[in-house]
Structure 1
Amino acid sequence: MKERVRAVLVTADDTMLVIRRTKPCIPEYWVLPGGGVEPGDESREAALHREIHEEIAGKAHIIRLLHTMESEDERQLFYLARIATWSFEDRTGPEFSAEGRGEYMLEEIPLTVEALDGINLKPDEIAHVLRGTMEAGALGDGAAA
């Protein structure tokens, strides 16, 4: 089974980092930073650190596992993490130079239900989980480092 790791990256300003994806002939959507767990990764958390470094040249402090999604062929693990520094210009992930992958733009959105509802975050299930966590006031509290 393929495994992917993603992070809800909370900044010191209580915003969340998301990546806006634009592809030809597909409505734009947003995803959380992360990617596939590779055979050489020591752990899922190590894979997440590698992906954050590749995608946004950042270093995060992982707080906890927030949610797991499973299908027949894939497991996605979503972690809550704090991040202090990042540089989208210094990203190194191979997907950024792959032909036909579309554009990747890093954005900060406020940690509010209204801001979350203003974007098309994929997958829908994590958007629903985040909305409930925000409504319960547990996202900001759980991310205190």
Structure 2
Amino acid sequence: MTERLVVKRTARAILLDGDHMILIKRTKPGRPPYWITPGGGVEQEDATVVDALHREVDEELGAKVTDVVPAFVDTVEHATEDGAAGVKVQHFFLCRLESMDPSRRHGPEVEEPSGEYEIVRIPFTRVGLASVEVVPLSLRHYLDGNIEGVRALHAPDLG
């Protein structure tokens, strides 16, 4: 089997604040709303994918996170703006919210928004997840089937 070219990588936060998960409700003109995890593309100035995660969470939420643990990876077909075809690898990290000040939000989502970016909290339960349209679908299915396992990634006895 031929290996596909990775044309984009992203870092996204499965961000917990106590018993709640923080998401961004995206509303674009002419489309139904959907909910995404905070995060975005890994840039050349990011030394690591985790550095990109911290930068993106700061930009989109004005937040700082702790206890960053790899949780899930998703690979999807993707074409770049210049037409290069390949895949996008999305790295999802479980994190705890340390602090958040939405007045500190900055970056393209805030300065040149394409629709609305609303910070929302939902219960980190199956019912909470079912109450919103979390994308990508693969993440929604992973979380729905693994809430206890995801929480266990922060267990004190993991080492």
Query: What TM-score, normalized to structure 1?
Result: 0.91
* Aligned residue type for 1:5: A
Kept in 2, the 8 Å contact 1:82–1:143? The answer is no
Residue 80 of structure 1: aligned partner: 94
Residue 94 of structure 1: aligned partner: 108
Structure 2: 5+ residue runs without aligned partners? 1-6, 77-85
SS where residue 33 of structure 2 aligns? strand
Higher Rg: 2
Distance (Å, rounded) in 1 between the aligned partners of 2:42 and 2:103: 23
Report sequence identity in percent.
35
Residue 14 of structure 2: aligned partner: 8
Residue 33 of structure 2: aligned partner: 28
Distance (Å, rounded) in 1 between the aligned partners of 2:67 and 2:136: 21
Q: Over aligned residues, Cα RMSD in angstroms?
A: 1.4
* Aligned residue type for 2:48: S
1:138 shift after superposition: 1.8
Superposition map of 1:1-145 within 5 A: 1-11=7-17, 13-71=18-76, 72-98=86-112, 101-134=114-147, 137-144=148-155
SS where residue 127 of structure 2 aligns? helix
1:45 shift after superposition: 0.3
| Change in CA separation of 1:62 and 1:36 when aligned onto 2, cut-off 3 Å | farther
* Aligned residue type for 2:150: L
Kept in 2, the 8 Å contact 1:17–1:109? The answer is yes
Residue 81 of structure 2: aligned partner: none
Structure 1: 5+ residue runs without aligned partners? none
